[in-house]
Structure 1
Amino acid sequence: MWGSAGIVKPGLERINRLLSFLGHPQRNYLSIQITGTNGKGSTAVLLHNLLNAGGFRPGLFTSPHLVSPEERIRVSGRVYPGQLEKEVRDLGKRFLRRHPSFRKDPPTFFELVTGLALKHFSEEGVEVAVLETGLGGRLDAVTASEPRIVVLTTVSLDHQEFLGANLEEILLEKVAPDRGGCLVAGEVPQYLIRLILMRKRKVGGDLFTTGRDLFVWRNGKGSFDFSVRGEIIEGVSPVKGTGFQAGNALLALAAFSCVAGSVSGKRGERLLKVLEETVIPGRFEVVPGHTTVVLDVGHNLEAVKAFCREAGKLECRGRRVLVFSLMKNRDPLSLLRTWGEVADDIIYVELGEMFHPFRRIREVSSLLGVKVLVAKSLRDALSRGKKIAGSGGCVMVVGSHYLVGEYYRLEGKTADI
């Protein structure tokens, strides 16, 4: 009845009625909503960890999950203690008994999980909830949390069937949750910043933007320096020494400053340690070994370009083997062309009906003049990929939360943050 996690039904009527049914739990704490095309999950995790280290009791809501649905909801790093899918079904049944008029248009899985998360945060005494937007912003269920701080990470063309045909329309969808609170904006084109400024003059509140109030730069010592509203944090190597998360770390610091004020001094030292030690599952996650494995869930063009920029810097003495899967709503031509720039060999894993069949990938690869092998399972792809890569080589598992999640299950890993 509640559909799958992939069903999209934009609109706030169902979630607003659901939150009313739950007693408006979102009004018992401060909510921070993370919107944008890429970097939402990473920024959310970094901000949650900063708040935790800064003396707050934070909640974290992200999607989708890698291994278990309970990962979507955390309080101070601890995953949801219940059986999420069962509780989603139970909540849906109770809601429809109270509101039978919604039987023809029941809440989606995502809306029910959002409601459970907001209720759990209230019950657990959360002070600040960090919430990753599912899709867009204006009509996303997370927007019903009534955020007082909104973080916009990036804006690029994605999900145009829901969000609009151009960047201006997509931007307005993504900043719509800001109703006059604090808005933190990442690195977006200048003409879009002007659009944000025009809107901000109408709704009011504070605006902090990358390139005006927020800066990050390489300092020539193998690390980064950050400037957040005039305060400097020096010598940071975000996320285990890669530069992959530097921009997201800057936005997390800025959002933290909107809650707590200063990010320098003794507090700054604690925050620096958090930024360096945080591991974000499946986001350019490097697993060392005889053959290095790199995991990345990025599946749109801008995310894949960012991955390839960092992957090109990896020290790899053997061959670079790319193992990927791709959902049918993704364009294989542009993504395969980009991945091909950093891969010596490519293996496609067929995962099921939601994913491109290999015949489609073969058609695209022939247009690009690229040879792609096929595997029926990730286990098979990893075995073949590691043999091809050899000692000191790299196997890059990319393109899908489902594929990276399957790697976690094969290795018995949990998605800890």
Structure 2
Amino acid sequence: MDTSCGFLEALAARQRFGVRQGLEVMEALMAQMGRPESGLAPIHIAGTNGKGSVAAMTDAVLRAAGLTCGRYTSPHLQRFNERIFVNGAAVADAALGEAGRAVEAAARAAVAAGAEEPTFFECATAAAFEVYRRAGVRLVALETGLGGRLDATNVVTPLVSVITRIGLEHTQWLGDTLAKIAGEKAGIIKPGRPVVCGAMPDEARAVIRRRAADLGCRLVDAGEAVSVSAVRSRPEGLEARVSTASRDLGKVTLPLGGLFQCENLATAVAALEAAEEALGLRLPDAAFREGLAGVCWPGRFQLVSREPPVIVDGAHNPDCAAALRVALKKSGLRGPLGLVAGFCDDKDAGAFLKILAPSFARAWAVTIPSPRALAGGAVSALMRAHGLAAREAELGDALDEARAWALAEGGAVVVCGSLFLAGEALTRLHAFPWATPAGAADPNEAFLGRQRRAAEPPATGG
């Protein structure tokens, strides 16, 4: 029996309370729960792009060093439990259910004391903190949800604050310039705590630098502190030489595709070295190599089949589109590319497609599985406006048609535009790493079998 079901139903009902930018309700919830966040030592990660990848890398290295570690990210791709990892595994239903009951009881008490109703994300975050308290987890790679300053995760005191690449997104909440958005992200910086700054425009970096100086924080520029030189880039992942002032890791293997992961790798290594100093320990170099080689972060330039090649990527904004375009160019994929894409209605799908369209020969537009979906017909119209031969289709049909086309043309398929779409595509393709046992057959074998049978002459009686 799924003992988390009641909490997940209660969480779903809280979506009607929308998004809240402010910490008053979260603080009230934490007080009612006995401050579960107070025992955490989080590597707190904000940013527009790359923060989930950085969280996955830092978590993997800390665990490879023998440390107990949690990881909190959003959104999930398949099941809610993916948001809350404990020592490399998604939280068990029973543990989530127990934490959820504590959260719901605290929410009722907070409302009775005069607080507003907590939102979905506030309760989800509170549940993560409660899971970690009950499991005895102190170190957590903690990803913000929206922004930073007023995000529900920002009730913590960080071990290290990390800010990844910043771009123009969620402008209705965070501001319409890079400087304003950087100011919101920099809200996770706390007095005296080290700050790691990833690759980003100078306009944004200046804001973070000023905030760190004002609060007496040591600022580490990941691009200056960590040297990452790509040796080989393939859809299966990267090989790169990595070094810092204090260690030379030599050649590191990262099973995440796309050259854009080089800057995330630099940010993660810088964050881990800052954490070393804050904790007063040294992580073994072998833990970096072993942890990074074992990173599992689905839906990020993930190669899910080879015949034909199919890549699923959660890219959903113009900056991501630019990074994806470069990654595809350097990936070694041959032949024409087919695009399967869908978007949320609050994303700049037009700008996204303007960047990517020249890389593709055919396109299929889908309506993503989200209440905020941009209709597939509108996506198809945008694709055609940017010169793509496109048609609208249901996701299953789009995947089948695109793969059949790629097989015939000797090309490949890319699925992108939304993490919601990435999650649904991975489900349809049976391509979640934790759902496919090692050594299992290609998850697309059933599809390939249908294609082979379709190409065979019909059987005749004899």
Same fold (TM over 0.5): yes
Determine the C-alpha separation between the residues in 1 that align with 2:269 and 2:172: 33
Following superposition, the deviation at residue 44 of structure 1 comes to: 0.4
Following superposition, the deviation at residue 103 of structure 1 comes to: 7.5
Following superposition, the deviation at residue 87 of structure 1 comes to: 6.4
In 2, are the aligned partners of 1:240 and 1:277 still within 8 Å (CA)? no
In 2, are the aligned partners of 1:30 and 1:127 still within 8 Å (CA)? yes
Question: Does the residue aligned with 1:226 lie in a helix, a strand or coil?
Answer: strand
Q: What pairs with 1:188-203 in structure 2 (closer than 5 Å)?
A: 188-203=200-215
Residues 6 and 348 (structure 1), Cα distance of their counterparts in 2 relative to 1, 3 Å cut:
farther
Residues 96 and 191 (structure 1), Cα distance of their counterparts in 2 relative to 1, 3 Å cut:
closer
Determine the C-alpha separation between the residues in 1 that align with 2:131 and 2:57: 21
Match of 2:351 in 1: 334
Residues 413 and 388 (structure 1), Cα distance of their counterparts in 2 relative to 1, 3 Å cut:
closer
The code of the aligned residue for 1:306 comes to A
Task: Check if 1:249 corresponds to 2:261.
Answer: no
Counterpart selection for 1:302 from 319, 322, 332: 319
Q: What pairs with 1:122-137 in structure 2 (closer than 5 Å)?
A: 122-137=133-148
Identify the structure with bigger relative contact order (alpha carbons < 8 Å, sequence gap 6+).
Answer: 1
Following superposition, the deviation at residue 172 of structure 1 comes to: 1.1
Determine the C-alpha separation between the residues in 1 that align with 2:115 and 2:38: 29
Match of 1:357 in 2: 375
User: CA offsets, 1:77-130, max 9 Å, x none?
Assistant: 111112688668745542343233477831111110100101111111113011
The code of the aligned residue for 1:81 comes to A
Residues 235 and 96 (structure 1), Cα distance of their counterparts in 2 relative to 1, 3 Å cut:
closer
Counterpart selection for 2:419 from 395, 401, 406: 401
Question: TM (normalized to structure 1)?
Answer: 0.91
Q: What pairs with 1:52-201 in structure 2 (closer than 5 Å)?
A: 52-82=63-93, 90-91=101-102, 93-101=104-112, 105-180=116-191, 181-201=193-213
Q: What pairs with 1:201-350 in structure 2 (closer than 5 Å)?
A: 201-218=213-230, 223-239=239-255, 242-261=258-277, 267-350=284-367
The code of the aligned residue for 2:300 comes to R
User: CA offsets, 1:337-380, max 9 Å, x none?
Assistant: 2221221111011236521123322432343232211112x211
Determine the C-alpha separation between the residues in 2 that align with 1:220 and 1:359: 39
Asked which structure has the greater CA Rg, the reply is 2
Question: Does the residue aligned with 2:255 lie in a helix, a strand or coil?
Answer: helix
Following superposition, the deviation at residue 400 of structure 1 comes to: 1.4
Compare 193-202 and 77-86 and name the one that shifted more. 77-86
Determine the C-alpha separation between the residues in 1 that align with 2:67 and 2:223: 28
Can you give the 5+ residue segments of structure 2 that lack an aligned partner in the other structure?
1-9, 436-462
Question: TM (normalized to structure 2)?
Answer: 0.83
Following superposition, the deviation at residue 244 of structure 1 comes to: 3.6
The code of the aligned residue for 2:391 comes to L
> How many residues were matched structurally?
416
Following superposition, the deviation at residue 284 of structure 1 comes to: 0.5
Determine the C-alpha separation between the residues in 2 that align with 1:329 and 1:315: 33
Aligned residues: CA RMSD: 2.8
Determine the C-alpha separation between the residues in 1 that align with 2:94 and 2:74: 16
Match of 2:457 in 1: none
Can you give the 5+ residue segments of structure 1 that lack an aligned partner in the other structure?
none
The code of the aligned residue for 1:332 comes to A
Q: Percent identity?
A: 28
